[in-house]
Amino acid sequence: MKIAPELAETVAAIVDAGSLDGAARALRITPSAVSQRLRTLEGQLGRVLIVRSKPARATESGAVVVRMARQYGLLAHDAAIALGLDGPGRLSVPIAVNADSLATWLLPALEPVSRTHDVTFELHREDEDRTAALLEAGTVMAAVTSQSEPIAGCTVTPLGDTFYDAVATPAFVARWMPDGVTARSLEQAPAIDFDRADDIQSAWLREQGADPALPPRHYVPASEDYAAAVRLGLGWGMLPPLQAKPALDTGLLMLLGEPRLRVPLHWQQWNLRSPALVAIREAVVAAARAALPPERPRRSGRAPSEAIRAVAPSGGGSPSTSRGGAR
């Protein structure tokens, strides 16, 4: 049985808008027409595609239909351009990305593509451990992810490593660590987490022999605001060099010590020969490799993790624990 493109497009519109009314506005049809299209396709397939919640969300079967709709839309757009047809429309490209990449190198990579291709970008900020799930569900066409194994129907390209250094202001260190950065002082000094899923500070504390359950925590869920909170001395935190270096160079921040933690990043996107997707991948890979050091081989040590590793000053060292948080 064939799925009519307009029916699949309607399911995707409901997921994007979060409601049938929102989908009706996006498709410029009545809400009753949206409801009828959804009932028709669910009846044809014999399964529920949309959970009628607030916001509405796709079921597992619905996610398959959403992915098909997005891929059909991409191919139809490229075909219209190749055939010289009038009004192919602007292509919307949803991308999943972690907050630190979004705050540092990703946007400069996408800007030239927006000048050479008729595209707009819808960026979904999510932890690099969880962006792959958005790609599998068809929510996005591409993702910056820590997952190195290719998702079904996708290609994967290594981008490099995001490094994280433990930093704080000199005044913060003087107040909370007057006798040096020790396990005891770290268990008393306030730390800053991105959110309650962010484990990177806890990973560094464990490397210092400190109990990560003991320090008081601030939660600042935005990359730039997180860095600002560290620079203001609210607590200590882990920052990537692109955010930490200016403050380190001026003495506003200081390093708390090794190890440096690293998160290997990869670019995964649908395996479709779309000129727009090819251009986006080339721009993203070039920008990431200019901003991020290449991934180094894993060394022996404690149980390895795909997402986060601890490295010595030279770049080697033993692995550490997994991390979370949309950093």
Whether the per-residue pLDDT at 193 is higher than 70: the answer is yes
Q: Which residue matches tokens 């630190």?
A: 100
Whether the per-residue pLDDT at 302 is higher than 70: the answer is no
Q: What is the 3-state secondary structure (H, E, C) of 65-123?
A: HHHHHHHHHHHHHHHHHHCCCCCCCCEEEEEEECHHHHHHHHHHHHHHHHHHCCEEEEE
Whether the per-residue pLDDT at 325 is higher than 80: the answer is no
Q: Quote the tokens at residue 23.
A: 């989908």
Task: Tell me what pLDDT residue 94 has.
Answer: 92
Task: Tell me what pLDDT residue 327 has.
Answer: 66
What predicted TM-score, i.e. pTM, was given to this entire model? Answer: 0.75
- Which of 246, 254, 225, 277 has its CA nearest to residue 71? 277
Range name among 77-91, 145-159, 253-267 with the lowest pLDDT average: 77-91
Average pLDDT over the chain, rounded to whole? 87
Q: Residues spanned by CATH 3.40.190.290 within the chain?
A: 91-327
Class of domain 91-327 as given by CATH: alpha beta
Which position has the higher pLDDT, 53 or 137? 53
* pLDDT tens-digit map of 7-47: 999 999 999 899 999 999 999 999 999 999 999 999 999 99
Q: How far are the Cα atoms of 10, 11, 41, 231 from residue 5, in angstroms, in the given order?
A: 9, 10, 11, 51
The helix/strand/coil state of 299 is coil
Q: CA 282, 143, 297 angle in degrees (round to 5)?
A: 80
How confident is the model over 217-227, as a mean pLDDT?
Answer: 94
Q: Is 237 exposed, middle or buried (0-12, 13-18, 19+ CB in 10 A)?
A: buried
Residue 266, phi-psi category: left (phi > 0), alpha (psi -120 to 50), beta (remainder): beta
312 DSSP 8-state letter: -
Q: Quote the tokens at residue 203.
A: 């990973």
Task: Tell me what pLDDT residue 87 has.
Answer: 63
- Which of 158, 202, 206, 208 has its CA nearest to residue 182? 208
Task: Tell me what pLDDT residue 294 has.
Answer: 59
Greatest CA separation for the chain: 72
Whether the per-residue pLDDT at 67 is higher than 50: the answer is yes
In the chain the beta strands, taken as DSSP E runs, fall at 50-51, 57-58, 91-97, 119-125, 142-145, 154-168, 191-193, 217-219, 237-239, 254-270, 309-311
Asked if 88 and 80 count as a contact pair (C-beta separation under 8 A), the reply is yes
Task: Tell me what pLDDT residue 123 has.
Answer: 95
Task: Tell me what pLDDT residue 83 has.
Answer: 80
Does the domain at 1-89 match CATH 1.10.10.10? Answer given as yes
Task: Tell me what pLDDT residue 308 has.
Answer: 56
Q: Which residue matches tokens 């506003």?
A: 252
Which position has the higher pLDDT, 326 or 245? 245
Whether the per-residue pLDDT at 312 is higher than 70: the answer is no
Whether the per-residue pLDDT at 76 is higher than 50: the answer is yes
Task: Tell me what pLDDT residue 157 has.
Answer: 95
* pLDDT tens-digit map of 177-186: 999 999 999 9
